[in-house]
Amino acid sequence: MRRTRLTYAGLAALLAFGGWTTGGAGPASANDSAATTAGSASVSAGMLQAMQRDLGLSKERAEARLAAERVALDIAAKAREAAGSAYGGSWFDARSERLTVAVTSKAPPATVRQVRATGATVRTVTHSARELDATRARIDRLSAPSGVSGWHVDPVANTVVVNVVRDRRADNDVRRFVARALEAGPVTVGTVAAAPRTFAAGTVGGDPYYTGNVRCSIGFSVHGGFVTAGHCGRQGASVRGWDGSHIGTFQGSSFPDNDYAWVSVGSGWWTVPVVLGWGTVPDRLVRGSAEAPVGTSVCRSGSTTRWHCGTVLAKNETVNYSQGAVHQMTKTSVCAEPGDSGGSFISGDQAQGVTSGGWGNCSGGGQTWFQPVNEILARYGLRLHTA
């Protein structure tokens, strides 16, 4: 579903006068016109259908989960503050539909009571989040071979997981890297089906943006432009819109080490605080960027595969692409394909990050990583455009 400049002009006017309250814009089916409420957020029928398709939930379970995730999102920061130095990480437990917060066994009883008072479930663990982050940072200083997919802190297992590509486990370079990683601290070794790759692609049809002969997807609007993936273009590169007209220029870009960038917008283009639903769901208003816990459902919009949903699997993962390692990524069970790079990851109405890369596809499944949006905003001093 292509959005024309005329459509956006009407949308901008509605937003300016507070007239758009249904959470969507543009043509919608009869099913999409209905909305239900999960917590304080308006949830479209299309959103629920996407969660049923991608997460295997019934409509009732999807509604209940979204409401529970809203509660977990609201208490996550309070629970972390209450845990203090004993904090061992947190995640959304899909079975209990509650936020679980890990605290170390050395935490005083008063601290445990304060964490429980926020509404979170408490689990006792051996290692603090600070210890696990330090272990991950030590592994970050190692040079990883291509047979190592990446590594991340797993708060549920209370360890750092180093993932190795299944058919590369016996490689001498991989074995040496794993041996050194195991010396860094509490580490567990896992396997993945394939090595990650970025999702940039050559010029094809759709609703993309282009730089050179690369097609990528817009992430989130910021005041003055939009954020996207760094591997899509270098600083100074010119950007064209879906209609071939000039949008603007990459003002900052980092890849590898990071995978983020921002593009200034001009030449008759402007920004709106919206993520496209591609007719699967109504277009989503962006109202903030509160970080969703591990275990939370999350959805992605991209110019190739459009709208898909999944779950946040891990945070602060280092992903080892062939071009080099990228740090502080979030791993998800959402599928993606070439051309989706830079596109939006959103949880409810909260911006989460921009699509970086992954493995698999949307026919057979896979995993995808995103660079958290708050890191991008802080790096470039940008302000998210919100409704």
The residues annotated with a catalytic role in the active site are 231, 259, 341
Max intra-chain CA distance, the chain: 63
Cα–Cα–Cα angle for 208, 49, 227, rounded to 5 degrees: 30
Instruction: Please report which helix (H) or strand (E) contains residue 45, including its range.
Output: helix 45-55
Q: Which residue carries 């208490």 as its tokens?
A: 75
Backbone phi, psi, residue 103, to 5°: -130, 150
Distance separating alpha carbons of residues 100 and 361, to the nearest angstrom = 31
Token pair of 104, please? 């170390």
Euclidean distance between the first and the last CA atom of the chain, given in angstroms as a whole number: 22
**Nearest in space to 149 (alpha carbons), one of 168, 163, 169, 135:** 163
Question: Which residue type is seen at 133?
Answer: D
Q: Do 174 and 145 touch, CB atoms closer than 8 A?
A: yes
Distance separating alpha carbons of residues 200 and 346, to the nearest angstrom = 20
Name the E strands within 193-305.
Answer: 197-198, 209-211, 214-216, 220-222, 225-228, 238-240, 246-254, 260-264, 274-275, 284-285, 297-302
Name the E strands within 193-335.
Answer: 197-198, 209-211, 214-216, 220-222, 225-228, 238-240, 246-254, 260-264, 274-275, 284-285, 297-302, 306-321, 324-332
Burial class (CB in 10 A: 0-12, 13-18, 19+), 276: buried
Backbone phi, psi, residue 74, to 5°: -70, -30
Sign, CA torsion 124/128/133/134: negative
**Nearest in space to 171 (alpha carbons), one of 154, 147, 138, 141:** 147
Token pair of 151, please? 């590594």
* C-alpha torsion 20→23→29→30, nearest 10: -90
Token pair of 324, please? 């080099």
